[in-house]
Structures are given as structure tokens and as C-alpha cells.
Amino acid sequence: MNGAERRIRELEAIVAPHGSALVAFSGGVDSSLALAVAVRALSRERVLAVTSCNETYLPSELEKAREFAASLGVKHEVVETRELDDPNYASNPTNRCYFCKSTLYTELGRMARERGYGCVVDGANADDEGDWRPGRKAARELGVLSPLAEAGVGKDEVRRLARHLGLPTWDKPALACLSSRFPYGQRITPEKLSQVARSEEFLRSRGFRQVRVRHHGEVARLEVAEEEMERAFRMREEISSALREAGFAYVALDLSGYRSGSLNATLKRKKKSLPVLSG
């Protein structure tokens, strides 16, 4: 047994004792691996994949999630969670993700209990424990099982294991919830989310893989991977035109390129002034 297979067996051993599982499935590489592990540990008949579809989720991702679940032979359902109805979430405090995950995992926990599933599984990995992730607090409070984090599987190993299993998502670019595009304290609205979604969908349609459109009021701050920056600059007129059509007045290319969670850089600098709501 090679190292990858041994690690996968470790993950299966975390899930197997629960007998059945409802998996919070976004379609990204982390939740794809968690879903695949659950199927191996429990059989596809004992697993349900559930995707939360709302204004913060790119429309194009839903069909990809459906296709992946179907490839595993797993039943897949979609729930509509309405995080923006919660003023604690919409006001975009620094612990915004806590309220999002509380809403999601409360709903998934209810579904699991009503249908007799033994646990709710998510795709959080070990590296998520070290970053600013208020949603992890909600997961712990609501008893969500995080096999990747529990086994100490980080981002790089997630991709190696997903590739070992032949999962088509193994090299899929990271894709966080659209609310992560807004500086903390800037209110999130359906209209602003639509601006970001339209802009990012356009950029992906032009072949950009790792991209974020950060929303700074009238300014769109574009982050792309370092190897794609020259192409973005060459396409600046087309990109600027498309993002202005999406509702932005100005378009800026961030010279530092794509950084996961780049808006968290303000947390230490502005810790005293940024809003944090109790939760």
C-alpha cells in the first residue's frame, strides 16, 4: 500500500463509523475529496451530497457540482440558504463566515436528522485551521465532521490525494464564496454580488483560471495568477469594458497578483475599527 492509499484509508476510517453521511458539497477540490472518501467508506447509497445555491455562489459552478456527484453515482440535492436575509451576515463583519456557516450547517443538520444520516461532513482541510476562518467555529459548534482537517491533510496533499483517486477536480483553482470579494465592513447586497459574478464569469470565459474581482465600491481590483498578469494587461481594454458593463466605474489590476484571502491583510492593521458581531 503506497502513502496516498494509506492516507485515504485514514480518512475513510474517520467517516466509516458514522454509517452514513450528508456531505456539504460546493464542488471544489476539498469537498470533492471529502465526498469521494465518504463514498469509499460508506458506499454511494449511504451518502447524500448537498450544495447550497445562493447569491454568493457562481451560477456556473452548480452544473459542475451536479456532474461530479453524478460521476460518483451519488444522489445530489440543492438547498437555497438565504444568508443575506441575516443582517449579521449582510453587514459583513470580520466574522461574517460564522453566520454563513451557522445558517448552512443548521440546515444540513436538520436534513441529516430528518433523513437518518449519521453525520454532516465538510471539506475543511488542515490549512483552514491556521487562517482566519470564523466558519470553523460554527462547524465545531454544530458537530460537523471534517475528516481532512482531523487527519491533518493540507491543501497540497488534498490535491495529491484527489489526483491519486482520479478526481477531475484535483487541479481545479480555489474558488471561495463571492462574499470574500468585499472588504470587511462594506455591506453586501445582491446587486454587488451580481457585479462580481458577472465580472469573474467573463474573465473565466476568456481563459483566466485563478482570478478574483475584489469589490471596492466603484473600483474593481482584479487579482490574477502571476503567470496570467501579462495577458491580463494585454487584454486591459476588453477587461475594462466588460467590468464597466458589470457596473464598476474603474478597473485596477493588482500588481501583487492573486492571493488567497488577501482582504484578511487588513485584519491586524484595522483590528480596533473593524466590526465583529457576537456569535
Catalytic center residues: 177
**Of 70, 57, 98, 123, nearest to 276 (Cα)?**
98
Could you give the CA distance from residue 133 to residue 128 in angstroms, rounded to a whole number? 7
Full strand arrangement of the beta sheet holding 47-52: 75-79, 47-52, 21-24, 120-121
What type of residue is 134?
P
125 Cβ contact list (under 8 Å, min separation 6): 30, 148, 149, 153, 154, 155, 158
The Cα-based distances of 237 to 224, 228, 244 in angstroms read 16, 16, 11
69 Cβ contact list (under 8 Å, min separation 6): 25, 35, 49, 75, 76
